[in-house]
Chains A and B, each alone.
Chain A
Amino acid sequence: MAMEKRARFRSPWLPYVLLAPQIAVTIVFFFLPAGEAVYYSAHIQNAFGGNLEFVGFDNFRELFNDQLYLNSFRVTAVFSALVAVLGLGISLVLAVFADRIVRGATGYKTLLIWPYAVAPAIAGVLWMFLFNPTLGVVAHWLRRAGVDWNFLLYGDQAMLLIVLAAVWKQVSYNFLFFLAGLQSIPKSLIEAAAIDGAGPFKRFVTIVFPLLSPTTFFLLVVNIVYAFFDTFGIVDAVTSGGPGQATNILVFKVFTDGFKALDLGGSAAQSVVLMAIVITLTVIQFRYVERKVQY
């Protein structure tokens, strides 16, 4: 595709006017605050809310010596790994079976896509209601089956619950992309393998899955970004980071340290670390993900 137009219009001022609204919003609400975060991350505020004192990298040093922060990193890593693996696995299975079906596939698709429209915080509330130790329907079943279920007390159960809510919401998105990827694989390849005697399972392992790898890798990055940044609402609604620190993911911690604990320098340093993570993920997404996958 052409990257440049040959036919252009000429005006010394019009392009700037057209760009002005976007650039204004970008500067005021993106660059200014991001710059401030970087600035504050190198300062501390004294106890009386007075002068800022320059401390260099002290906030970062403190951060990476803080057991709570390191714990938050661990929690985030476990959470995003579980969300990505479970989310991709479940939706791949559903998409593979949906791709096999000739009649009724659109019906299943319609029924599977609506969790996408549900806000993360509401997804959290729905799952919390099902698993609520005192009144949840599923919690009741679990207790009857002999499971000592109380996610308000047990960290592992709390983690499991936010993973379930996060995966539930993301499955529709993954499913749509996997299905599109599967449908773009040439039927002639599959037929040739079938004629050579390869059964459905063998065909999936040797042909379909390798051809699907660009989609899988793309979805992996998207799911990690989702688990890192778009699950704040789920954590806030279901566990508020607890019990203890068991579900205190990084974006939740930067919020509580900034707004509840009012730790300006520490929170800003956390913001800068998060920025570095997003930049890395975005670069990976643009540099290594095959973006010309045919849908």
Chain B
Amino acid sequence: MVEHRPLLTFLSHAVLIVGVAIVAFPLYVTFVASTRTVEEILAAPMPLTPGSHFVDNYLAALAHGAGESTAGVGRMMVNSLISALVISIGKIVISLLSAFAIVYFRFPLRTFFFWMIFVTLMLPVEVRILPTYQVVSDLHMLDTYAGLTIPLIASATATFLFRQFFLTIPDELAEAARIDGAGPLRFLWDVVIPMSKTNIAALFVILFILGWNQYLWPLLVTTQESMYTTVIAIRRMISGGDAATEWNLVMATAMLAMLPPALVVIAMQRWFVKGLVDSEK
């Protein structure tokens, strides 16, 4: 610190504590609601200390959901996990391969393909929503894991990130590999991928969260409860109106839906920050 100003340091802590409290408050109330009964929540205002129904609520939500839904949240957590993993790993694999081709080969239409991938940045699902739905429906991919994941698997951001990184790998390595008689795939597997480990980890954190938190797309392509992801299950649970909503179970589901991405962020905080900063450069 430049100078010693105890008052300013005190103020800094005060502001940050207030900030953290406001950020944490909605999460705390959600947790409290997930440990109470519907009656306690409906007797507004709900008490702000945890209740005694933690185990009951979570077991009920996991086993059979809330309201009229019949499929349990356990099943939806599995759907979310499968989608998030396929989306994040899929994006990493196909982007790594594309970037490798673009950096290490010279071939006709190379720049054209690069621009094609670039332009996808400008076409988020929201702007081509109806026609994309039609394509998926024509391919009979509604209510399938393929439909939930494959249309989201292209990634300009990941391709750029890998391309940037590959350009910093010394040329000598590729030359040495070539002299030793290693082909491109061998070089990719034995040299490039091991060197990219940190980048892959950073990207994985960001893409896993992105995949887990998908909303509009699963809302469109799933009609059966057994294919819902956790995030859209919550939306369906509250659509019946205030009186009909089992808020304690909805809030338990919300906690369950937030848990995996939060764990990934906290467990991989270092890579998370790197991934955020890198993927925006």
Contacts and interface: CB of A to CB of B under 8 A. Distances in A.
B154 A30 contact: yes
A178 B154 CA distance: 29
Given A22-B117, A126-B254, 13 more contacts: A15-B107, A37-B127, A93-B15, A113-B272, A117-B209, A119-B215, A126-B29, A134-B44, A135-B242, A137-B46, A236-B219, A259-B130, A278-B124
B274 to A, nearest CB: 9
A180 B277 contact: yes
A150 B148 CA distance: 36
B55 interface: no
A48 interface: no
A217 interface: no
B131 interface: yes
Contact of A267 (B107, B130, B254): B130
B150 A25 contact: yes
Contacts, number: 301
B244 interface: no
A79 interface: no
A33 interface: yes
B100 interface: yes
Measured as residues with beta carbon below 8 angstroms from the partner, the interface class of chain A is 35 or more
Given A97-B16, A229-B126, A267-B130, A22 B159 contact: yes
B273 interface: yes
A254 B126 contact: yes
A18 B98 contact: yes
Given A112-B19, A135-B242, A237-B238, A122 B98 contact: no
Interface size class of chain B, counting residues whose CB lies under 8 Å from the partner chain: 35 or more
Interface string A9-41: 111101110110111011011111110110010
7 contacts: A9-B104, A11-B184, A18-B97, A18-B100, A25-B94, A118-B258, A268-B131
Contact of A6 (B24, B171, B272): B171
A250 B98 CA distance: 34
Nearest to B187: A9
Interface stretch (B3-11, B59-67, B194-202): B3-11
Interface of B: 1-3, 5, 8-9, 11-13, 15-16, 19-20, 23-27, 29-30, 33, 41-42, 44-46, 48, 93-95, 97-98, 100-107, 110, 113, 116-117, 119-124, 126-136, 150-151, 153-155, 159, 164, 166-168, 171-172, 174-175, 178, 183-185, 187, 209, 212-216, 219-220, 231-232, 234-235, 238, 242, 247, 250-251, 254, 257-258, 261-262, 264-266, 269, 272-273, 276-277, 280-281
A191 interface: yes
With a 10 A CB-CB cut-off, give which of A30, A94, A255, A264 has the most chain B CB atoms: A30
Contacts of B9: 100-101
A3 B105 CA distance: 13
A34 B185 CA distance: 34
Given A190-B2, A291-B281, A25 B212 contact: no
A136 B277 contact: no
A102 B1 contact: yes
Given A171-B23, A229-B126, A275-B122, A22 B98 contact: yes
A7 B153 CA distance: 30
Contacts of A51: none
Contact of A40 (B131, B265, B273, B276): B131
B127 A278 contact: yes
B12 to A, nearest CB: 4
Contacts of A268: 130-131
